[in-house]
Structure 1
Amino acid sequence: MKTDILSILFSFSFFSILGWMLEVSYRSLRDKRFVNPGLLRGPYLPLYGTGALLLMVAGSLLQGSHVLTKALAYFVVTTGLELGSGFIAQHFFQTRLWDYSDQRFSYRGHICLKFSIYWILLAFAFEYLLLPLYQSMFILFLPAFKGLFAGVTVSIMLMDLLAVGIRHFLRLTPEEKTLSETQFTDTARPLLELPEVAKLSQYNHHRGKTRLEHVKEVAYLSFLWGKRLSLDCDAIVRGALLHDLFYYDWLHEGPRLHGFRHHNIALKNARKIALLTEKEADIIKKHMWPLTVVPPRYME
């Protein structure tokens, strides 16, 4: 089988999905309920896709080798991948994807002898049963199909991973959440009590939300990012609450080229009701960048 980038990405995508199906079947039968394993939400497990690629490489390099040599290589590949994945999930995402602590001869719950033996057996099954079948099937697919399948699958995986990363980056402990909500409320209250801001509740914005709901949501999410990045959270909250301070239904009325003009309208209205710092004004004026052409002056 070819080793070009298309073949690699297609194989990675195919075995990520196949591995997800295998893992879901095993865990769901074991727990007698549907279990979606892994860190990502979609129907794929990159761990299996990566493992399949590594086993392909190992099998190619070890052609004609003694079975014990292959067994040792497969042990290193599969158990090493399991150990690395478990460590990354726990230390970077604070998530336990599996726990072998109750098994004999385990190491920190990430790996254990029993499952390492299972992985070796599955690796041989992969080499002698699944891989030949896959290679026969692979040559039947048109390059366009393989490119589309791999491109869509990998793109969705990357977006899924980005969403998971953001969610974990912004995740708060109960104590942090209480403190953050108090700080946000204290900063936002003076503006939210102004009738000019409260009036935004009369206008639909998008996704079934009023403009007031939209600016509050944007302000709180931006506030959390600001906290994590040690930015000026007061300016972020005030700028976000005022960034869409205009009084028309932009979907049906208002000036033409709304996306290029409403930031100036919002800034003009904001200056009528609040004394803005340069940073807050820049947040409002540049929130539609790159449509504003000139980039923001501040990280906030």
Structure 2
Amino acid sequence: MGIYEILAYFFVYGVLGWCVEVAFAAVKEGRFVNRGFLNGPICPIYGVGVVSVIFSLQGFSESLLILYLASAVLVTFIEWLTGYVMDRIFHQKWWDYSGQPLNIGGYVCLPFSLIWGVFCVFIVKCFQPLVAHLIGYIPHIAGIVILVILSIAMLADLYVTASAILKLNKRLEAMEKIAAELREFSDRMGENIYENVKDGMEKEEQLKSKVASMKEVRKELRAEYSAGKEEWYKSQQQKLDELKGRYDSLVNGLGSVGERLVKAFPNMESRIHKDALREVKKRVAMRRNKRK
């Protein structure tokens, strides 16, 4: 099997894998979700997985048991490696099998490994001969041109998607900084209010010994405390509104690619910005529900 066949099978099974993911999401959620990592209709992990099985295990096709076990192990390793590398590069776990039995780091789990084995046996024994036969009908030159165009398109898509993820990470980082600033601001406001109330109570006790009625006490307190406090509270409220506005702008300005990724991977988790990503996912879900 040469480079031409490897690329051809990669794109065929990558697109078919995308179709399976979309169909699965449609049944599960009742709507269309572009479940691919890329924007285009392809899931590269399926293409890599199936091509690896075809290339490495074709010699074991006579023994169904060996083919099944070897396929399950190989595809599971590819899935684990892909999830681990993407987690380390983008600091996000794109899928999570933590709720499944016998999982490894949430990247892979035994039930899905067994299912992948069944699919691979079916592909090697039944489907792949048909795919190879159909690809054989495509003129070689035309096939090369098609593969070059598809490869360029996929690389461009990969660049756009990776850039969007890096921007998303920066946005999440900025959100967490603003959230920390809001918490610090709230603490300062609370402490200031407490000190003002405490000082007011002390001043009230001092004035009680000097004036006869509570009316005069309140008048004295208002005259002393109201002058500068109103302006101070206005300035603090303006700062608070500014921080909230910046936070909302970050949450709501994901862009089409960032929002698609959040929808496509509902179980995505961030290792660094967990709270910020949860807020983004919540806002995306609210916007989706409003459109219904």
Task: Classify the TM-score, shorter chain.
Answer: 0.5 to 0.7
Q: Check whether the contact 1:39–1:89 (CA below 8 A) recurs between aligned residues.
A: no
The aligned residue for residue 2 of structure 2 is 4
- Are positions 1:142 and 2:139 aligned together? yes
- Are positions 1:87 and 2:87 aligned together? no
Tell me the percent identity: 27
Deviation at 1:114, TM superposition (A): 0.7
Deviation at 1:59, TM superposition (A): 2.9
Letter of the 2:135 partner, please give it.
F
Deviation at 1:89, TM superposition (A): 2.4
Q: Check whether the contact 2:14–2:42 (CA below 8 A) recurs between aligned residues.
A: yes
Deviations 1:14-33 (A, max 9, x none): 21111111111112211212
* Other structure's SS at 1:172 match: helix
The aligned residue for residue 211 of structure 2 is none
Q: Distance in 2 between matches of 1:113 and 1:150?
A: 35
* Other structure's SS at 2:93 match: coil
Q: Check whether the contact 1:75–1:116 (CA below 8 A) recurs between aligned residues.
A: yes
Deviation at 1:63, TM superposition (A): 4.2
- Are positions 1:41 and 2:39 aligned together? yes
The aligned residue for residue 240 of structure 1 is none
Q: Distance in 2 between matches of 1:34 and 1:82?
A: 24
Q: Check whether the contact 2:58–2:124 (CA below 8 A) recurs between aligned residues.
A: no
Q: Check whether the contact 1:17–1:45 (CA below 8 A) recurs between aligned residues.
A: yes
Deviation at 1:175, TM superposition (A): 5.2
Q: Check whether the contact 1:38–1:45 (CA below 8 A) recurs between aligned residues.
A: yes
- Are positions 1:75 and 2:64 aligned together? no
Q: Distance in 1 between matches of 2:73 and 2:22?
A: 24
Deviations 1:255-300 (A, max 9, x none): xxxxxxxxxxxxxxxxxxxxxxxxxxxxxxxxxxxxxxxxxxxxxx
Letter of the 1:119 partner, please give it.
W
After superposition, the Cα gap between the structure-2 partners of 1:27 and 1:4, relative to the gap in structure 1 and judged at 3 Å, is same
Deviation at 1:61, TM superposition (A): 3.0
After superposition, the Cα gap between the structure-2 partners of 1:20 and 1:174, relative to the gap in structure 1 and judged at 3 Å, is closer
Deviations 1:90-133 (A, max 9, x none): 22123333221111111221111111110000011111111011
After superposition, the Cα gap between the structure-2 partners of 1:68 and 1:179, relative to the gap in structure 1 and judged at 3 Å, is closer
Q: Distance in 2 between matches of 1:13 and 1:36?
A: 17
TM-score by length of 1: 0.55
Q: Which deviates more, 14-23 or 52-61?
A: 52-61
Deviations 1:219-274 (A, max 9, x none): xxxxxxxxxxxxxxxxxxxxxxxxxxxxxxxxxxxxxxxxxxxxxxxxxxxxxxxx
Q: Distance in 1 between matches of 2:25 and 2:84?
A: 21
Structure with higher helix content: 2
Deviation at 1:134, TM superposition (A): 0.6
The aligned residue for residue 124 of structure 2 is 127
* Other structure's SS at 1:123 match: helix
Q: Distance in 1 between matches of 2:33 and 2:164?
A: 21
Between 1 and 2, higher relative CO (CA 8 Å, sep ≥ 6) is seen in: 2
Q: Mapping of 1:162-181 within 5 angstroms?
A: 162-170=159-167, 171-174=169-172, 176=174
Q: Distance in 2 between matches of 1:178 and 1:30?
A: 32
- Are positions 1:23 and 2:21 aligned together? yes
TM-score by length of 2: 0.56
Q: Distance in 2 between matches of 1:149 and 1:21?
A: 20
Q: Check whether the contact 2:71–2:117 (CA below 8 A) recurs between aligned residues.
A: yes
Q: Check whether the contact 2:98–2:106 (CA below 8 A) recurs between aligned residues.
A: yes
After superposition, the Cα gap between the structure-2 partners of 1:103 and 1:174, relative to the gap in structure 1 and judged at 3 Å, is closer
Q: Which deviates more, 87-96 or 77-86?
A: 87-96
Deviation at 1:88, TM superposition (A): 2.1
After superposition, the Cα gap between the structure-2 partners of 1:174 and 1:140, relative to the gap in structure 1 and judged at 3 Å, is closer
